[in-house]
Structure 1
């Protein structure tokens, strides 16, 4: 039943392991260690769930072969004998060794179907990996916002400079220019988003649309002909859906084109142009008053808008950090819950099989250190 791996997992200096390793050696000469021959072949018949199995081991092929008896034939089956046939038979030396090593008993408990340690360990490992991944993600996000205070400080300086200019007698011209510049940016970004959105769906239809070649189906039976008919209807419905999508995209693009035309001819554009012209004239006045550049105010406005956009992006990152932090807390709680589940399963095993046995007394403490157990 491939229990040799249990022995091989013991410490190399363990007496049971050393005895076993000597036992499985091939005996070549009189007085040498080992009891096996070069052609030793061991067969174990195992009755399980109303079926008879043959577990075979040989020196030629150390892997345990599983066979199932079907009528008068033995059929080879796949699988791991160690897990499919979890029967353990211990020698007196092994039982004595268990008494010296509490963890040996704990390992036996973990291998039981009640505890299912392997399945539990997979979930434990997955959650640990998820926790580390979330922590790494949080660190990356925190690195992104590390320069936010610098940007906030720069924005405060820019706004201070702008307020000095806007508090002059030319405040109305400057405020109008800033208003139109900001709203023009919003309109431009929205137009670009619509174009990207339209292109996304067009590419999706062109490149990722499901395709069906009915000639490859080649229906022969009546049932297949019926299915082919339904497939054809489904394919036609898909083509209709795609065409409707393309028509909607065309309508959207036509509407966007109409908006561009009306926008370019709107009073908004005329008023914006007037505001830009007034700002240009005002810049000439600023030059005459000793301001370094005629584009200083425009540059300040552009910088202010850029900083606000960057800070807004960082605010979204901060929100994402909070979401990730919540996930980290949930993952940490899941790690605790999963670990508690292992302890509860172990205690359930003891209550079911060991409770009331005066010869064996085991106490399992929640979240205890398995390497410093006492029995």
Structure 2
């Protein structure tokens, strides 16, 4: 796969081949048998990709190695040869000269000739006739980099010269120095032993590299330097050396690869058939895992690329969520529509499509958006297979996208940062929302149940009075002389009903059983001679038939038993009709009938009312028992409501604690800004959220609720919350004081605000659902952002537009590992703010997360050390590329200087002498 932009290359600055006389040391056989291919494979095995072939005063193996390296690259290996030499300069000081990869053995021979080296090629048996300083100048003038070799070891500069003045003179134009052991290592092991004292005292600022200086295969890979550049070239190496620590890492300090990429990253965008981009041929950008900068003049379409990505990644609604300003979403909507004419704002055509490729760990996805269906399809790429998957694009493919206007709006209203904070795994808003909604739902359900139960028990007083009256009537009748007749009559009725119910119920039951058995027959085995032939089969068949006959016999027996029992029960009925008890029942009924007739004849009320009264008393008693049970249930459910509300309070505290926890590391690691979460401190959305709870989403009652003159109980609540901002329990109590004013029907003030008659009537007319919503209502948290003006931290509202935007941008770059895409974030920022805040944050963040920036500020591109720079222009109304690559590419550097105001100054600031390269 072709390298896109810059990366860290494993570079060995100091190597030897059999062309060096001392190659193999005592192992003479290895020198005779070593081939260029095997020599290179030894380095490949150790992950070395760039090799400076620095034989002693010769370049005879270089052409052979270059040919073999090309063959190995065609086989899929990553290996590059830098034609180089280790020159034995006057004074027996070894100096490495490293040249571009297109140079040859012949070129190296010319370098040797120019030094007037008179010794044996491949050996160090003589020195150059020119000074070490002249050797360095010669290498530099011939387009190479000059590095005094192993300056702390034998034949090294610092072991030959200790004088600071001499060292300074020789090192004036050196590109770097090779140091085997650092000064600190020497001093730690044995104070005063370091040969680097004179060099260290000069404070040259020269980059320090290390190579293996291997003269034998078993020494390959023992030391190397990580070098950050694009496709290996001398320009890339020079840039890295000028860049110093930002582009060089010694293996003794960084043994492991710095090429660590975020798990989630965008690998490419492909745009087809839009008005200005990809209209004729597909427009495609491949992205680097680290910092990508898209530059171009006005009208080049660079900002539209961001909006295309916003569309394909389903992030258009964020334009509404992160700001109350609808202008941004309206502008996007005008852009993201079908163009009706040449001058229309819309950029899409009927067959427009956008493909974004996204890497999640090892899984490669392609997100496809088409104008025709306005849908985003998710496709996983598995080798040659494309597997369509379901899911939510926003949750499955995280990315942050911010235009300059979004950043400006956030800086005006920092509370919108809560939406971003809540996306973090520490806050885990999805889990918290689930718990919160579950608890709110529980409170709503419990209060509905209590309301229904209270409706049921509202009749308790009436029913109790009715029961008292009934009991008095029954007692009056039972106290009369007819009480025994009435009692016997009631008893006889119950006896007769009980016996009759037993007889008829059991007869019906048994007849149902008989009917079921008659209508349902057991499953019979169909005898099939073809299935049951041999002895085992017929034995099994006979066993089943035997059991089948037994089942049928038992059914017949069971039917007979049922019929016998039924006859016995019917016989009981006949026996009962002639029994002594039946005669007593008949006598009691006759006595009752006679009593009724006599009472009616004498004008006495019908004592048959007694039976009705007994039934009524029973019904009333049952209803009152149910009410008593409901009262206990209400007590239990009201206790559950209190418990659930307490859980709600704890959850409300918990979300603030999670947000604050998320900010701990960010605040600790940033000296330029601080972001804090204030518990229930929101004022921006305070009124709207409260009105939504009480279902009064208009501007009425502003004097009581809230107005811009700081009147109303919400203003008072917000003030009281700020006064005790660190006391969460105290804040909850203040919020409860406000709610109590609504729950108390007699209250005519809320937080000392006098209520008008209209509002008094309104708050007392709230429905149960609205009261419950108010119980569950709490003000949102607020965000306080402070910036460092160089002397102290000040509230962001006091900052300039540039300070506000820079602070918000620095915050956005301070957390997370998901890709972030920014459009011209430097607007309103002066170069000092860009460098001190933004560039530093970019450099800190880009190895942890992918950054894509559309920019016209060269400081971001150059000093941010953009791994990939995409230069765009508009040709005949169509967006096209000017250049594509890393900063080492001459065409890229030229376009930065030509397109971006201050581009040349930015290069001068960073690379000094390389601007003219």
The TM-score by the shorter chain falls in which range? 0.5 to 0.7
1:209 paired residue number: none
Stretch moving more, 47-56 or 357-366: 357-366
1:232 paired residue number: none
1:90 paired residue number: 402
**Quick check: 1:114–1:345 contact (8 Å CA) kept in 2?**
no
Stretch moving more, 167-176 or 261-270: 261-270
Matches within 5 A, 1:254-269: 257=569, 261=573, 269=582
How many pairs are equivalent? 327
1:217 paired residue number: none
Aligned: 1:359 with 2:671:
no
| 1:62 counterpart (354, 363, 374) | 374
| 1:276 counterpart (584, 589, 592) | 589
2:608 paired residue number: 298
| 1:308 counterpart (614, 618, 636) | 618
Matches within 5 A, 1:116-135: 116-118=428-430, 120-121=432-433, 124-125=436-437, 128-129=440-441, 131-135=443-447
State the alpha-carbon separation in 2 of the partners of residues 141 and 254 from structure 1.
48
Structure-2 change in CA distance of 1:305 and 1:180 (3 Å): farther
Aligned: 1:160 with 2:491:
no
State the alpha-carbon separation in 2 of the partners of residues 297 and 111 from structure 1.
79
Coordinate RMSD, CA, aligned: 4.5
Q: Match of 2:626, SS?
A: helix
The answer to which structure has the higher strand fraction is 2
| 1:347 counterpart (657, 661, 664) | 657
2:171 paired residue number: none
**Quick check: 1:66–1:78 contact (8 Å CA) kept in 2?**
yes
Structure-2 change in CA distance of 1:38 and 1:154 (3 Å): closer
Superposition deviation, residue 279 in structure 1:
2.5
Superposition deviation, residue 291 in structure 1:
0.3
**Quick check: 2:678–2:781 contact (8 Å CA) kept in 1?**
no
2:782 paired residue number: 373
Structure-2 change in CA distance of 1:9 and 1:356 (3 Å): closer
What are the superposed Cα offsets for residues 169-220 of structure 1, whole Å, 9 maximum, x if unpaired?
Answer: 33333333344456667x489869x78x979x99xx99xxxxxxxxxxxxxx
Superposition deviation, residue 110 in structure 1:
3.4
**Quick check: 1:151–1:307 contact (8 Å CA) kept in 2?**
no
State the alpha-carbon separation in 1 of the partners of residues 354 and 675 from structure 2.
33
1:225 paired residue number: none
Higher relative contact order (CA 8 A, sep 6+): 1
State the alpha-carbon separation in 1 of the partners of residues 674 and 615 from structure 2.
79
- Which has more radius of gyration? 2
The answer to which structure has the higher helix fraction is 1
TM-score norm. by structure 2 comes to: 0.31
Matches within 5 A, 1:1-375: 1-9=313-321, 13-26=325-338, 33=345, 39-118=351-430, 120-121=432-433, 124-125=436-437, 128-129=440-441, 131-181=443-493, 187=498, 257=569, 261=573, 269-292=582-605, 296-320=606-630, 322-323=632-633, 326-327=636-637, 329-330=639-640, 333-334=643-644, 336-338=646-648, 340-341=650-651, 343-357=653-667, 358-365=673-680, 369-370=778-779, 373=782, 375=784
Structure-2 change in CA distance of 1:290 and 1:132 (3 Å): same
Q: Match of 1:361, SS?
A: strand
Q: Match of 1:47, SS?
A: strand
What are the superposed Cα offsets for residues 241-283 of structure 1, whole Å, 9 maximum, x if unpaired?
Answer: xx9xx99xx89x9699579747767665544433333323333
Show structure 1 runs of 5+ residues with no match: 207-239
Superposition deviation, residue 20 in structure 1:
3.0
State the alpha-carbon separation in 2 of the partners of residues 18 and 188 from structure 1.
84
State the alpha-carbon separation in 2 of the partners of residues 31 and 330 from structure 1.
65
Structure-2 change in CA distance of 1:313 and 1:255 (3 Å): farther
State the alpha-carbon separation in 1 of the partners of residues 327 and 441 from structure 2.
37
State the alpha-carbon separation in 2 of the partners of residues 189 and 363 from structure 1.
77
Q: Match of 2:608, SS?
A: helix
Superposition deviation, residue 150 in structure 1:
3.6
Superposition deviation, residue 87 in structure 1:
2.3
What are the superposed Cα offsets for residues 269-302 of structure 1, whole Å, 9 maximum, x if unpaired?
Answer: 544433333323333343354303xxx2222232
**Quick check: 2:422–2:429 contact (8 Å CA) kept in 1?**
yes
**Quick check: 1:110–1:117 contact (8 Å CA) kept in 2?**
yes
Structure-2 change in CA distance of 1:159 and 1:126 (3 Å): same
